[in-house]
Amino acid sequence: MTGTPDTALIAGTGLLPALLAKARPDLLICELEGFPSAVPGATPERFRVERLVPFLDGLVARGIETVVFAGAMQRPKLEPEFFDPQTASLVPRLLGAMQAGDDETLRAVIELFEEWGLRVVGAHEIASDLVPEAGILCGDVTEADRRDQARAAEIVAALGSVDVGQGAVVAQGLCLAVESLPGTDAMLAFAADHQGLRPDPKGAGGVFYKAPKPGQDRRIDLPAIGPQTVANAAKAGLSGIAWEAGGVMLLDREATVAAAQEAGLFLWACAP
Amino acid sequence: MTGTPDTALIAGTGLLPALLAKARPDLLICELEGFPSAVPGATPERFRVERLVPFLDGLVARGIETVVFAGAMQRPKLEPEFFDPQTASLVPRLLGAMQAGDDETLRAVIELFEEWGLRVVGAHEIASDLVPEAGILCGDVTEADRRDQARAAEIVAALGSVDVGQGAVVAQGLCLAVESLPGTDAMLAFAADHQGLRPDPKGAGGVFYKAPKPGQDRRIDLPAIGPQTVANAAKAGLSGIAWEAGGVMLLDREATVAAAQEAGLFLWACAP
């Protein structure tokens, strides 16, 4: 890699942007104003949604060809006075997509980048070891865990069909928590608060299951699991974490597996 | 009404059992041991799931013909040593239903009562003013509220198809919370904790929508809304509460409407 970068990383919060930047030091790092991405040593290019068109023009002008989205992004509050006229003309389109849910918003964003001639790829396409193949990475999965996983997968699929959330917690056949806008950590905290509802306190602890939504564009917003997920699942008294293999990124695999082993949790990438 | 009661109220927690007992003072009140029903002035007949068969035999022996379930019931922890042989023989059937979700559990319970010759009816069948017809009971419903209600109804229907929850909170098109085992109050507390995620703090506050599950047996576990629901929705900064007309009970209508008016919330029974 020499000279000017040809790939931009649109970095949100969480571990993933820093891991990608470490794996690929040639990325141009960009972040949404107000949502710092915390990539060590980087001086990110900041942009605002209200000035998206000038930002896209700038990326093209400096030779960027490929764009990767990584990390969590909250929907920013839009300030009418910051819009430039061209971006303002996109507002009806963007607002319509935002009303229709996360998937539509993401699709609209990808479409816009593509209209500027930029190729949008998934984080796993530039750092392939982030997405584990099917298998049990650590711990023991019991029959009760398998039943809880199957039930959670069914719930997540139903939620995905209406474009809500990507995860659920099931213990002893009962759904303790469902993911929505506040995200995985908030859902696991909720499950921790209500873990006493398990009928048999000595029975199966339960499973947190995560999967991309059906039909989700995997180039953006692929769900991710990391050491913090393990810590939160342990606080909720769960037996382990399962996910759809190929559809979920494992952030910092070594640290995540070590944390799960330490906490006695299984990590299981389930064949879809 | 003279002499011995012919209708038994299987009373859970919450307001409903007391309201029914007030409307129908001739009921035989029964409650699950460990889950006091708080019906004023009543000395409930207590029973354990582990001794369900002797309990059912007892109801029949004293001339009970009709049974109403009302109020919230948690799944009790079962103690193997308390089972009588006949109830023990039902365990595989009950456990199978419990694993399959709330609806199946309730269906199995109704079936058992019916096998003893008891007629199981819904609470609204013995106190019909509990279930309001379609209409706006108080407050103003905006176009944004109507969109949030429609989105929430779509989410609740999807959840119902996998036998999870009966409610969701949607604000400005975004799903802030989804109901699961911990119930409505826990979900509204979660929505209150995360109300800051609404993109426009001055925009629509959001709607809590509640509906029975598709195919739910309405003789048991019909969802209910009361003054406490209004208080919790107000804490979450919501604009109002909506529900499927005919499918949700309004506990203590006068107090609930008064609380909503005081808090500036709408109450809306939506035509299905």
How far does the CA of residue A181 sit from the closest CA of chain B (Å)?
Answer: 5
pLDDT in tens, B214-233: 777 777 667 889 999 999 99
Q: Is residue A190 part of a domain?
A: yes
Last residue of a domain, one of B73, B99, B126: B126
Beta-bridged to residue A61, according to DSSP, are none
CB of B154 less than 8 A from some CB of A: yes
Q: Are residues A221 and A116 in the same domain?
A: no
CATH number of the domain where residue B111 is located? 3.40.50.20
Q: Are residues A194 and A266 in the same domain?
A: yes
Q: Are residues A121 and A211 in the same domain?
A: no
Q: Are residues B22 and B91 in the same domain?
A: yes
What is this model's ipTM?
Answer: 0.72
* Contact at CB, A98 and B173, closer than 8 angstroms: yes
Q: Is residue B2 part of a domain?
A: no
* Contact at CB, B181 and A174, closer than 8 angstroms: yes
How far does the CA of residue A82 sit from the closest CA of chain B (Å)?
Answer: 16
Last residue of a domain, one of B91, B126, B161: B126
Number of domain units in chain B: 2
Q: Are residues B217 and B167 in the same domain?
A: yes
Q: Are residues B36 and B157 in the same domain?
A: no
Chain A (167-226) residues lying within 8 Å, Cβ to Cβ, of chain B: 168, 172-182, 186, 190, 193-194, 197, 199-201
Residue B25, φ and ψ in degrees, nearest 5: -70, -5
Number of H helices, E strands in chain B: 10, 13
Which chain B residues are within 8 Å of A190, Cβ to Cβ? 182, 186, 190
Q: Is residue A63 part of a domain?
A: yes
Q: Is residue A2 part of a domain?
A: no
Q: Are residues B226 and B112 in the same domain?
A: no
Last residue of a domain, one of A102, A126, A150: A126
The residues, ordered by sequence, that sit 6+ positions from B240 with a Cβ below 8 Å of its Cβ are: B139, B141, B145, B205, B207, B208, B233, B260, B265, B266, B267, B268
Q: Are residues A112 and A218 in the same domain?
A: no
Which chain B residues are within 8 Å of A77, Cβ to Cβ? 199-201
Q: Are residues B108 and B61 in the same domain?
A: yes
Residue-wise pLDDT tens for chain B (272 aa)?
456 889 999 998 877 888 888 888 899 999 988 888 888 888 899 999 899 999 999 999 999 999 998 887 777 788 889 999 999 998 888 888 877 766 677 788 889 999 999 999 988 788 877 888 899 999 999 999 999 999 999 999 999 889 887 899 999 999 999 999 999 999 999 999 999 999 898 999 999 999 988 777 777 667 889 999 999 999 999 999 999 998 888 888 899 999 999 999 999 999 98
Domain limits for position B66: 7-126
Residue B178, φ and ψ in degrees, nearest 5: -135, 135
- Alpha carbons B156 and B158: distance in angstroms, whole number: 5
pLDDT in tens, B228-269: 999 999 999 999 999 999 888 888 889 999 999 999 999 999
Q: Is residue B17 part of a domain?
A: yes
Q: Are residues A108 and A148 in the same domain?
A: no
- Of the candidates A173, A177, A186, the beta carbon closest to that of B194 is on A186
Q: Is residue A136 part of a domain?
A: yes
Q: Is residue A1 part of a domain?
A: no
Residue A138, φ and ψ in degrees, nearest 5: -165, 160
CB of B54 less than 8 A from some CB of A: no
Q: Are residues A182 and A91 in the same domain?
A: no
Selected residue of A95, A170, A175 to mutate for chain B interface (largest B Cβ count, 10 A): A175
The residues, ordered by sequence, that sit 6+ positions from B172 with a Cβ below 8 Å of its Cβ are: A99, B144, B148, B198, B199, B200, B203, B204, B206
* Contact at CB, B158 and A162, closer than 8 angstroms: yes
* Contact at CB, B182 and A159, closer than 8 angstroms: no
Selected residue of B143, B164, B184, B193 to mutate for chain A interface (largest A Cβ count, 10 A): B164
Selected residue of A35, A146, A155 to mutate for chain B interface (largest B Cβ count, 10 A): A155
CB of B107 less than 8 A from some CB of A: no
Q: Is residue B1 part of a domain?
A: no
Q: Are residues B67 and B146 in the same domain?
A: no
- Alpha carbons A172 and A151: distance in angstroms, whole number: 10
CATH number of the domain where residue A146 is located? 3.40.140.80
